[in-house]
Chain A
Amino acid sequence: MTDKDGLYDMPLRLSRRQVISGMASLGVLTGGTARSAFGQAPKRVIIPEGDFAPLPIAIPNFVAGTPGDGEVGVSVAQVITNNLKRCGLFAPIDPAAFIEKINDIDKAPQFQNWKTINAQALVTGRMTLQADRRLKAEFRLWDVNTGQQLAGQQYFTSPEYSRRIAHIISDQIYERLTGEKGYFDSRVVFVDETGSKERRVKRLALMDQDGFNVRYLTKGADLVLTPRFSPARDEQLITYMEFGQGDPRVYLYRIETGEREIVGNFPGMSFSPRFSPDGQRVIMSLQQGGNSNLFVMDLRSKSTTRLTDTPAIDTSPSYAPDGARICFESDRGGKPQIYVMPATGGSAQRISFGEGSYSTPVWSPRGDYIAFTKQGSGQFSIGIMKPDGSGERILTSGFHNEGPTFAPNGRVLMFFRDPGGNAGPSLFTVDISGRNEQRVPTPGFASDPAWSPLLS
């Protein structure tokens, strides 16, 4: 803790010095021609609407607390760098440009060295494998220009979770520098596809948000589709649709235990499931003849409630984050369009009116947008619109883009893209502004991604 005291001293000393110099200059000014300067409010000079620009940030390798910790220090810094770079809001500086080598994170860095390479923020950290075999991770986030520490934390974990720690630190940095929650400490469930186009094997797979730590949840004997994460943070629960021996059914899957259970026991096909925001219910489509309607099932009482009853195909329901409304896709008006209605049922209001058809709506965790797949003019596009249908914005289009899912902070969408031909689909992310499209590395082909909530 003495370390910390020393560190916190620095900014204080700086500011004290600044105060003194400020006082001195004030004295000079008032002694001179200051009357006009201080007699009135200072002249306001407007700097309007600067362009958004990624923040230059320096992330040197984390210091090794013991001689054996060099490797983990390097890998943690790399994970953080990769996260911040991929999100598009930061511009990590090439370590080759670094002038100063951080050897002790308990001393304030020489900020001039980091100003010289145009860094505006600096991350220093240390990884220490303790005697009790726990890994201690410490980091500090510095504002290079003011010399102030913006954030500082330490974490303890077991050594195999060093990547997770790096994601958590990334989130801290992201939140402190953007003012919004991060999304790096999260996972994505998706459908892994291998094999030729005719004999494609589809397995349920889970990975970290950046494409690492892939785990396969099913063996690929049966076809799986539309996996969805439970928004409830503490239970690692997935719902998905699987073609078993008979009709396709909606299943629940517990990640920690590997347990699987069927959701309800309905005649006919059930598909397109999604959790309610509290994770207590699953909303889905049930096939009834040539039509399908929306039902919601309480996972505890197993009671089922019908929400729509139309001679049309109602599917792809998704809850608003407050749970009060749902959006869904329906062809009741002819072509598939997006509708919004109360979560308890009732009259639905159509919100999509553009050309073409709209499908797979999903409500942002922030509540401000609904993302969708739009089909028209021979193209599949990913777009967003406000829940009242205004402000439609297409983020990407092409031969085939489908299945958007929001990052936990609602700032980024993941979707899958199939280039056609013999190739298979792969996953991409794009900012809701339409910037910064990035491919997500996966071992094979991949489709139907669904983002988890933040893990911590």
Chain B
Amino acid sequence: MNVDKTLVASVALHVLVIGWGLVSFSSKAFESMPEESLPVDIISSDQLAKVMAGVKTGKKENPKPVVEKVAEAKPVEDTVGKITEKPPVVTETAPPPQPKLEEKPVEKKPDPPKPVAEAKPKEEPKPIEKKPDPPKVDPIAEALKKEEKKPPPKPQVQAATPPPQPSKPKTERTFDQSKIAALLDKRDPTRQAVTGDTLNSNAALGLAKGKAADNSATWGALFQSQVERCWKKPYGGIEAQKSEAAFAIKLKRDGTLEGMPVPEGTPATPYLRVYQESALRAIIECQPYNLPAAYFDEWKYFAPVFTERKT
């Protein structure tokens, strides 16, 4: 009997413990679930860089962004016009000569590639201030208030200006007074640093060289899930495995089509024609599309590709 009691007690305890464990674990699992409701995209560092680069169209009234989250800073409009204005604003970091030099050439309006490159390194260090930029950060803040520091950077800038891209080493080469004005404009590079650094309250989007932000992973997935509901894919058996149909479509803000989707290319086989038509039907039938308004500039014109090809 005693044995039984201990056994029973043991079993009961085990059951209790295991049961409690089950309940507690499961409850934890449930709690953790709801947290993720934001659309999360897996993007490459390259894509991130693009995101950071800002939009060409962004306005730079607020050249100096506050450092917050990187991703959100992108929305901006016309950068070009403002860029010219900004040069004065920019206070280059006189202290660290080398970094500045590099940035400056990049900042030059003509060099689209460089800004991107610069932006990338900045982004990687998520912290508000970027690795080489700590000096810059200070200048930025200062620059907003004080533009005094300009003189020191200017000489360097001027040197850099004459040679457009490869100028980095050349910064000191020549002094062309005539190009001083250009140099002034080029101070925008500070902005680049800013955009790269911060996604802040200021939507200082546009760098002269900035590429459009790429959030297609987000709205693309939304578009895909919506258009798939209407897609009645024709059943084509084995030869259908390499089918693909691409379109160029324009959407209005309300998510409806602005015009007929334009198919890319002429289908080579009857099945490909049917495949393309089925996709066209789906695009038309499933409008309006409910896509994030924040990314309208991206999804107002894009190319959905219906494909059976793996990878």
Contact = CB atoms under 8 A, between A and B. Distances in A.
Nearest to A91: B232
A25 B258 contact: yes
Contacts of A348: none
A144 B232 CA distance: 13
B302 A42 contact: yes
Nearest to A20: B259
B55 A36 contact: yes
Interface in B246-286: 246, 248, 250, 258-260, 269-275, 277-281, 284-285
B135 interface: no
A46 interface: yes
B260 A47 contact: no
Nearest to A38: B301
A67 B77 CA distance: 67
B281 A47 contact: no
A411 interface: yes
A433 interface: yes
A47 B220 CA distance: 9
A432 interface: yes
B85 interface: no
B176 interface: no
B212 interface: yes
Nearest to A15: B260
B151 interface: no
Interface in A135-180: 143-146, 150, 175-180
Nearest to B225: A47
Contact of B280 (A29, A46, A146, A176): A146
Interface stretch (B11-19, B27-35, B138-146, B233-241): B233-241
Interface in A23-42: 25, 29, 33, 35-38, 41-42
Contacts of B285: 115, 120, 145
B237 A411 contact: yes
A89 B77 CA distance: 49
B56 interface: yes
Interface in B207-235: 212, 214, 216, 220, 223-224, 227-228, 231-235
A42 B303 contact: yes
A116 to B, nearest CB: 11
A53 interface: yes
Contacts of A179: 234, 236, 269-275
Q: Considering residues B277, B300, B301, B303, which has the most beta carbons from chain A within 10 angstroms of its beta carbon?
A: B277
Nearest to B304: A45
Nearest to A366: B237
Contacts of B231: 47, 50, 53
Contact of A145 (B212, B250, B270, B280): B280
Nearest to B80: A35
A368 interface: yes
A43 B238 CA distance: 30
Contact of B227 (A42, A47, A175): A47
A177 B77 CA distance: 45
| Majority secondary structure of chain B interface residues (helix, strand, loop or mixed) | mixed
B272 A50 contact: no
A120 B232 contact: yes
Contact of B233 (A21, A22, A37, A50): A50
Contact of B301 (A42, A49, A144, A177): A42
Contacts of A220: none
The bracket for how many chain A residues form the interface is 35 or more
A48 to B, nearest CB: 6
Contacts of A25: 250, 258-259
B305 interface: yes
B115 to A, nearest CB: 15
Contact of A47 (B259, B269, B270, B304): B304
Contacts of A50: 228, 231, 233, 306
A37 B303 CA distance: 12
Given A49-B308, A50-B233, A179-B272, A43 B298 contact: yes
Contacts of B234: 52, 55, 89, 177-179
A46 B306 CA distance: 6
Contacts of A22: 258-260
A186 B20 CA distance: 68
A180 B270 contact: yes
B303 A51 contact: no
Contacts of B304: 44-45, 47
A52 B236 CA distance: 9
B62 interface: no
A44 B246 contact: yes
A145 B281 contact: yes
The 9 A-B residue pairs with the shortest CB-CB distance in the complex, in nearest-first order: A179-B271, A179-B274, A179-B270, A22-B259, A45-B220, A42-B303, A145-B284, A53-B232, A43-B302
Interface of B: 55-57, 77, 212, 214, 216, 220, 223-224, 227-228, 231-238, 246, 248, 250, 258-260, 269-275, 277-281, 284-285, 297-298, 300-308
Given A18-B260, A21-B258, A179-B271, 6 more contacts: A25-B259, A33-B77, A49-B308, A143-B281, A179-B234, A368-B237
